[in-house]
Amino acid sequence: MEAGAGLVAGSHNRNELVLIRGHEDHKPARALSGQVCEICGDEVGRTVAGDLFVACNECGFPVCRPCYEYERREGTQNCPQCKTRYKRLKGSPRVEGDEDEEDIDDLEHEFNIDDDKQLQQHGALQNSHITEAMLHGRMSYGRASEDGGEGNTTPMVGIPPIITGNRSMPVSGEFPMSAGHGHGDFSSSLHKRIHPYPISEPGSAKWGDEKKEVSWKERMDDWKSKQGVYGAADPDDMDADVPLNDEARQPLSRKVSIASSKVNPYRMVIILRLFVLCVFLRYRILNPVPEAIPLWLTSIVCEIWFAVSWILDQFPKWYPIDRETYLDRLSLRYEREGEPSMLSPVDLFVSTVDPLKEPPLVTANTVLSILAVDYPVDKVSCYVSDDGASMLSFESLSETAEFARKWVPFCKKFSIEPRAPEFYFSRKVDYLKDKVQPTFVQERRAMKREYEEFKVRINALVSKAQKVPDEGWIMKDGTPWPGNNTRDHPGMIQVFLGHSGGLDTEGNELPRLVYVSREKRPGFQHHKKAGAMNALIRVSAVLTNAPFMLNLDCDHYINNSKAIRESMCFLMDPQVGRKVCYVQFPQRFDGIDAHDRYANRNTVFFDINMKGLDGIQGPVYVGTGCVFRRQALYGYNPPSGPKRPKMVTCDCCPCFGRKKRKGGKDGLPEGVADGEWTATRSR
């Protein structure tokens, strides 16, 4: 037997036991399942059915049954990690506040009948061993087995479990350094205390209850003190990360109701108009026109229809809400210092068709605002869909990728907003506000000059594209451009920036930038923008397969560099994130006259109707500026193998419902398979 396992000693007068450890602490063997209680370090154990014991069904925080029962009986009754209230599990006693569960037939454990039987059965055995250990000093040495027994000695059944930790607490009655037991010297720093408890009449039920109560209470207090729940006596010893951890567990967003002083007057007007409408309809129905019954009946039907449509239009305006996000909590939860970012990747889609109607410079500004977003660069991928297969779009995107190597580091260095250069340099504001870097003015002037040169190059490409050669466009290597026939061409994919060499002028990595032109053939319906979105979803699933997707029109740039983080506060929220399908951003417009006489800003739609819909069911998808969950569109995760099964979907981008066609043909084009890069073709 090993003497280094420690020495257990005690005094009958002091009612206390002390463990003096050797130079080597023997750690208990881990369970085969790998689950260890985070509070006491013991095995989590299994249920009666043989399944792994899970105390919290929300987060699965590993806690053994004794710690779970103690926390429910004496603690806060909440999970230490997610703060969700523990539910009563089968085999555990009922505590105050538990809901009535008619489907659980567990009366013995509910009223502690089984525990009392076990105490009575083992009372005599505990009495003999504890008395022998306490009065005669017959200490046992050696490594304990998993069931609590010793090597070749009599097991001490009544001794409560020993807490192993990284620190030892000074206790009264601890043996001095000279109190060795003939098996080597021991240091005072190696002393460990077995939790003391008042010794009642051995073998009685009270003795067993007190033993378990004090044992588990001190084990729980020891764990909580390590986690910083109770704090340390010395303020200098308190863990500075404790408030941060508590803040990271808070929700990432919340609803903010509109002030009643703003909403109630409109609600009163709605009620008044509804009352007047009911009186009017009653009068019209009870007073028919005998001379023109058909005309009267037609007018009654129309008036009732208009009344119902007006009532339906008032529902979104009855309970508008705002939403507030907490970006600091998002960073604390998913971007811990010294660890890689845990934020989810995002694929951003930009769709364009005709570069002569949609200027390439506008598309370039949209792409530049995407590449400069405040988000980890390795988790951002920009896909540009060229549905016109234009060589002008391809070459302008190549120029945009080169200019992004200078523009992106400038934006992130000085935190400028917005990050679309055309709109940033044209703003009539004090651009020196809140800027403290002495080199800002000089670098801004240099960047503005670079952007003007970039505009000249883009305009030169546009001017060149006005005259199409008779033989079609020829690429630099002498081969014909595959998209000379816009209605009959193969799919094209070109990666401009990415992990393979997309670095900026400062040597930092840039987000991916991918050019996509889907395949088109005569006789096959391509479904315009919906088909282009389907193609981007398929291609991105093969290249990056990000769990979230943001689609933008080519003339919609990102005016807030933290917009993606704002959406992640909803989609990655541990409580409600899995229930969120998409996050719709409102649209804002530049270049509109100050009075907006034609209501081009859509203020009523975005600021009233959309907020009202969010208060009752959720906003509608407006076609752009929306972050989707990929799984919500697919219905399932795409396969990761090289062979991709065919999927049958409907023709619209936001609805990927399954349908069948005669002949068993797919409704959407085949994706990339067997290493051959082909764009998607819609049918």
Alpha-carbon distance 255 to 141, whole Å? Answer: 61
Alpha-carbon distance 101 to 349, whole Å? Answer: 49
Looking at residue 88, what DSSP letter applies? P
Return the bridge partners of 43, or none. 36
The two beta strands, 380-386 and 346-352, are: parallel
The pLDDT value recorded for residue 379 is 92
The two beta strands, 512-517 and 16-20, are: unpaired
The pLDDT value recorded for residue 400 is 93
The pLDDT value recorded for residue 58 is 77
Looking at residue 103, what DSSP letter applies? T
Q: Which of 312, 283, 319, 322 lies closest to 299 in space, CA to CA?
A: 283
Inter-axis angle of helices 113-136 and 205-227, to 10 degrees? 90
pTM score of the predicted model: 0.58
The pLDDT value recorded for residue 500 is 64
Residues contributing to the annotated binding site for Mn(2+): 529, 553
**Structure token pair of residue 73:** 């009986």
Residues contributing to the annotated binding site for UDP-alpha-D-glucose: 351, 357-358, 387, 528
The pLDDT value recorded for residue 617 is 81
Report how far apart, in Å, the C-alpha atoms of 499 and of each of 379, 496, 507, 510, 511 are: 11, 10, 12, 8, 8
Alpha-carbon distance 345 to 520, whole Å? Answer: 30
Helix, coil or strand: residue 298: helix
Alpha-carbon distance 364 to 350, whole Å? Answer: 10
Alpha-carbon distance 323 to 256, whole Å? Answer: 5
The alpha carbon of residue 427 and the mean position of all alpha carbons in its chain are separated, in whole angstroms, by: 35
Longest Cα–Cα distance of the chain, Å, equals 121
Cβ-based neighbours of 311, under 8 Å, separated by 6 or more: 274
Q: Where are the alpha helices (DSSP H) in 153-240?
A: 205-227
3-state helix, strand, coil in the chain (%, to 5): 40, 10, 50
Return the bridge partners of 10, or none. 17
Cβ-based neighbours of 557, under 8 Å, separated by 6 or more: 365, 366, 369, 418, 420, 423
Residues contributing to the annotated binding site: 351, 357-358, 387, 528-529, 553
**Structure token pair of residue 281:** 């309809």
**Predicted confidence (pLDDT) per residue in 323-367, tens digit:** 999 999 999 889 888 888 899 999 999 999 888 888 999 999 999
Mean pLDDT over each residue of the chain, to the nearest integer: 72
Inter-axis angle of helices 391-414 and 440-464, to 10 degrees? 170
- Asked if residue 612 lies in contact with residue 316, where contact means CB atoms within 8 angstroms, the answer is yes
Name residues of the chain where pLDDT drops below 50: 1-14, 17-18, 20, 22-33, 102-108, 110-207, 228-242, 647-683
Alpha-carbon distance 268 to 258, whole Å? Answer: 16
